[in-house]
Structure 1
Amino acid sequence: MGTMGCENILLMMFMLSDMLSVVSATEIKIEAFFNKTAKLPCNFKNPQNSSPEELVIFWQGHKDDVLYEFYRGKENLMYVHSNYINRTKLNPNTWILQLQNVQIMDQGMYTCFVQHYGSKGPVVIHQFSFQLSVLAPFSKPEIIQLDNKTAEIGDVLNFSCSANQGYPKPQKMYWKIETKNSTKYLGDMYVFQDNTNQLYNVTTILSLLINDTSPWINITCLIQTQESMEPLASETMHLKTQPKENPDSSFLIPGLVIAGAISAVLCIFILIGRNACCATREAPNVKAENTEHPKERDEALEPMNHGSCEKTEDR
């Protein structure tokens, strides 16, 4: 019986240890926005109704840096870290400490300690820990077309989408491509962190082949910052597809017209020249003088180009 009792006690101790581990793992989380004010709780109810002169209350950061100390009814800055000077304000009614101008470096674990100052000195009567997370909303994603092209069928158009100054790093960034027949999701995310304020800038690139499956295309860029939040969407870019133009097609019809006109003019000039040549060939013979000599044709009127008009002889 005694052995079984010891085993049961050991089992209960192990179970209690597991329960304490679960409780410690379940952290209270406080969220604050970048450059705004965070409210750091203490969760102190003052059950003994102690006067402020009997209490010492201070908040300590994850690096053991003191943010603020309320020492027996007065603010004490002796042990406050320089990073928090002029950034805190205490509400003595709620025991909530306001931390102003929150930065990314402020996030982490914090603990509020309450000591009762009695005859035996300070004794810790309350302790409360919580996790501070800092959020910075990204700017609205913006789509930019990287090439100066129209959406001609067969071309590849390139786009970029960017959002800036956000925190924490988004989970994913993608494209929503809507056409007449389909919807597609594409995109790889490129992340850049600002060394000064630790905020993130993100970009994704899209190369889109324009095909003839739809007369229109809608393009939207989205960022998923947290799983529990709706994705942040850009303005939708609307494209209207059109057939690809032949670079020489605009000159084809005018060229044919000009060539036909030139040919017609050349034919007219050839016909006029040939008619003139033949008319010269048919000039009458010169009459002979009143002599007994026979009639002869004037050799000066013979055409030089015998191939242009057909030659005839006098009989």
Structure 2
Amino acid sequence: MACLPAAPPALRRWLGLGLFVLLCLSLGYALEKKVVKSKVGEKVGLPCCHEIPSSQSLHNYRVYWQKNTTEVVLAYAEGKMISKHDRYENRTEMNTKNLTLWISPVEILDNGPYQCVVQHLTYLQNSVVVCDEPVTLFVTADFSKPNITAEVSADSCESTEMVVKCSSYGGFPKPKISGALNNASMVWNASWVSESSLSPYNVTGQLRLNVTKDVSITCSVEYNGFTKSTSLLLKKTNYCVVPTVPPSHNVITASSIIIIIFLLAITLAARYLPRHVCSHCCKPQDSVEEGVKECMKPPVSSKVTSETSSV
């Protein structure tokens, strides 16, 4: 008996990878079909894993819709409803062909896993389980638009210290709160309040900032694929005028000395430099000193000169 040649290692590796990808895609598709999302107040349909053929009727089946595998939402047997939970009264109905469970209006308490169990009745009144698969309902309640407040705790010329708070309420499920400061991501000190795991949440984020200039802050609340955001401009409240620096002691001393020297020079110049001699009151002399003395003599009047001449 001849042996077939073994596949090359590279080919085996590619075949294995292809099978793995197909398996992941098929699992992803199956999981996607089993997840349903809805908002509070809307109408939602949960698909069942079986559809009754057109040649048969609901009388040949038993159908049980249950939540958390313990709480029967409603049940049908031989074409009639035999049970319905009080909490779903007047809010649920089932399609008699594709067995889809319709819930309206949706409440937060409806959030969770459901299961559709279908049994087929034989002519001997024996029951055979046709399908038994879960489907998960994700319920969303919108949060309020985030509200940002800022309180100044300290102020100076250099910076303004602020306590910034962001709050949002009334939503479901438990949210994630994030933020940005001038488009740069930041982390809030967050706290959540809720009466139970199936009750609306209130969320608050707090942050201390030293604001040295006007900045924009953003608060975002993210929940079940939805986002609510708010932005606020934080302004630095105290802009101080920098005082003029007084001249140093050395500069004052040097300036004083220069002024004193200048005044002393002017005084000495006025006292010791020769005065200007008038041409009409002094005759030129051989020396400066004689010229000064001649100039200082009192002038002789013309009357005295005439009298002297007559004598």
TM range (shorter): 0.5 to 0.7
What is the CA-CA distance between 1:67 and the residue it aligns to? 1.0
**How many residue pairs were aligned?**
218
Alpha-carbon deviation of 1:59?
Answer: 0.7
1:84 aligns with 88
- Match of residue 254 from structure 1: none
Which runs of no fewer than 5 residues in structure 1 stay unpaired? 1-18, 250-315
Q: 1:242 to 1:107 in 2, by over 3 A?
A: closer
The answer to whether residue 206 in structure 2 is matched with residue 208 in structure 1 is no
Distance 1:233 1:111, change over 3 A: same
Pair 1:150–1:230, CA change in 2 (3 A): farther
Alignment-derived partner of residue 139 in structure 2: 134
Which residue in 2 is equivalent to 1:220?
A: 218
Matches within 5 A, 1:110-121: 110-121=114-125
Matches within 5 A, 1:1-315: 27=31, 28-47=34-53, 49-77=55-83, 80-121=84-125, 122-147=127-152, 153-171=158-176, 173-178=177-182, 183=184, 185-195=186-196, 198-211=199-212, 214=213, 216-226=214-224, 229=225, 231-234=227-230, 236-241=231-236, 243-244=238-239
The Cα RMSD (Å) is 3.5
Residues 118-174 of structure 1, C-alpha deviations (whole Å, 9 max, x = no match): 322133223332122222222211112235999975221222101112222123x23
Change (3 A) 1:196 1:128: closer
- Deviation track 1:89-135 (CA, whole Å, cap 9, x = no partner) reads 12224321112333333333222122222322133223332122222
Report the TM-score when normalising by structure 1: 0.58
Partner Cα distance (2:235, 2:149) in 1: 16
Amino acid of the structure 2 residue aligned with 1:168: P
Q: Whose Rg is larger?
A: 2
**Change in CA separation of 1:114 and 1:29 when aligned onto 2, cut-off 3 Å:** same
Once the two structures are TM-superposed, the CA of residue 176 in structure 1 deviates from its matched residue by 1.4
Residue aligned with 1:158, SS: strand
Counterpart residue identity of residue 91, structure 1: N
Give the TM-score of the pair, scaled to structure 2. Answer: 0.59
8 Å Cα contact 1:152/1:241 also seen in 2:
no
Distance 1:210 1:152, change over 3 A: farther
Deviates more, 1:81-90 or 1:44-53: 44-53
Counterpart amino acid of residue 105 in structure 1: L
> What does the per-residue CA deviation read over 1:250-291, in whole Å, with 9 as the maximum and x for residues that have no partner?
xxxxxxxxxxxxxxxxxxxxxxxxxxxxxxxxxxxxxxxxxx
State the Cα distance separating 1:54 from its structure 2 match. Answer: 1.8
Q: Distance in 2 between matches of 1:120 and 1:151?
A: 90
CA distance in 2, matches of 1:48, 1:91: 13
Between the aligned partners of 1:146 and 1:240, the Cα distance in structure 2 is 11
Q: Is the 8 A contact 1:151 1:239 kept in 2?
A: no
2:160–2:236 CA contact under 8 A, matched in 1: no
- Aligned-pair distance for 1:239? 3.5
Equivalent residue of 2:174, what SS? Answer: coil
- Please give the secondary structure, in 2, of the residue aligned with 1:146: strand
Aligned residues of 1:54 and 1:72 also touching (Cα < 8 A): yes
Q: CA deviation at 1:243?
A: 4.0
The alpha-carbon deviation at position 30 of structure 1 amounts to: 1.8
Task: Give the whole-Å Cα distance in 2 for the aligned partners of 1:62 and 1:132.
Answer: 11
Residues 218-239 of structure 1: CA deviation (Å, up to 9, x unaligned): 121122335xx464311x2123
Inter-CA distance 196–146: structure 2 relative to 1 (3 Å threshold): farther
